[in-house]
A and B are shown apart, each in its own frame.
Chain A
Amino acid sequence: MEYEELIASQLSFIGKVLSVFSHDINNHLAILKESAGLIGDLIEFGKTSSRKDLKEILKITQSIKNQIEQATYFCDKLNGFGHGMEKPLSTFNIHECIEELMVLLNRFINQKMIRIEKDFTANMPLIYSNPLKVQFLMFCLVEKHLKRLDKNSRIIIKTVYANDSIGITIIPQGNLIETDEKLTCDEESYNHIIKQLGVNISHKTAEETTIILPVSLSSGSNRS
């Protein structure tokens, strides 16, 4: 039963990432369609004869280029997320792993009007672990604060490296609000994923959480 709940929570997390991604990509496509449509309109309405008109068209084509670049960047992040699901264990950079998740959830975070700030330590070694599960754990920790913090708050994600382990601290800053919104990750799934990743948890305060992630996870400890 515990395992089924974990799978359901993880699927819900993946669903969240995919729905935010598809919503964002759809927005990029909508802007591209309007921009292309506007060029067509300007030609149709005969607004292409003056230097000013041509400058306007150049501006729109530049905007199309920017949209494509942003959409490509976003697709690259989903590509990385997808590859992280292919193999149970892989070697990766923890900062890129966190960054990937934050980019993919950017719209969800923005809607809450909460800022995520990164305080990443330099020269972080690569780790051997399960990127999807690490991202799921990060999501569980961040989502809890996203639901409980008032707008214009911030969440700081800080990383350190010591003793063959990586410490990731989540520091929420801002006013708390009452909420009965359900979390994607329930307590049991959270405890299960911590066990699977070989993570130690410490709390400096009731709100501030640090997870200590081993640099190398043996394949045996990844099994549920």
Chain B
Amino acid sequence: MSTKVLIVDDEVEFASTLAERLALRNYDVKAVYNAEDAITDAQSDPPDVVLLDLRMPGIGGLEVLKILKKFDPSIEVILVTGQPETEGSGEGIPTGLFDYIMKPVDMGELILKINNADQKRKLSRHS
């Protein structure tokens, strides 16, 4: 079964193009463009891995991370950020975060991180 990936980014073109590229690599991908849709979508059809933009209008990425982990702690979240660190939290590594990746994204690195996150999710669901 394909890994279910949810991309959350207010940059519509970035999210949709990345979704298309991952779909070509046989991931089951969906892209949403705001935090509210991400929360609704993840609750109705839980993904294995979420690629989450840190800075979005309204509810930011870190808040979405908290909500998703509260709903299903096994969902793995990778922050996609333009900053060299997970800025904005001011409290070190945000709780529940699997990893982060820098924009512009390196496809090889992203696939590796998605696969590692998916593996961790599968292990935590079996334990």
Interface set of A (CB-CB < 8 Å, partner B): 22-23, 26-27, 29-35, 37-38, 41-42, 45, 47, 60, 63, 67, 110-113, 151
CB-contacts of B77-115 with A (<8 A): 82-83, 103-105, 107
Contact B13 A67 (CB under 8 A): yes
> What number of B residues sit within 8 Å (CB to CB) of A?
18
Q: Which residues of A contact B104 (CB under 8 A)?
A: 26, 29-30, 32-34
Chain B, interface SS category = loop
Interface set of B (CB-CB < 8 Å, partner A): 11, 13-14, 17-18, 20-21, 24, 55-58, 82-83, 103-105, 107
Other-chain contact of B107, A27, A37, A42, A45 (Cβ < 8 Å) = A37
Q: Which residues of B contact A31 (CB under 8 A)?
A: 11, 13-14, 17
Given A33-B104, A45-B24: A27 and B17 within 8 A (CB)?
Answer: no
A-B pairs with beta carbons under 8 Å apart, 19 shown: A26-B82, A26-B103, A27-B82, A29-B104, A30-B11, A30-B14, A30-B103, A31-B11, A31-B14, A31-B17, A32-B104, A34-B13, A34-B14, A34-B17, A34-B21, A34-B104, A47-B24, A63-B13, A112-B57
Contact B105 A38 (CB under 8 A): no
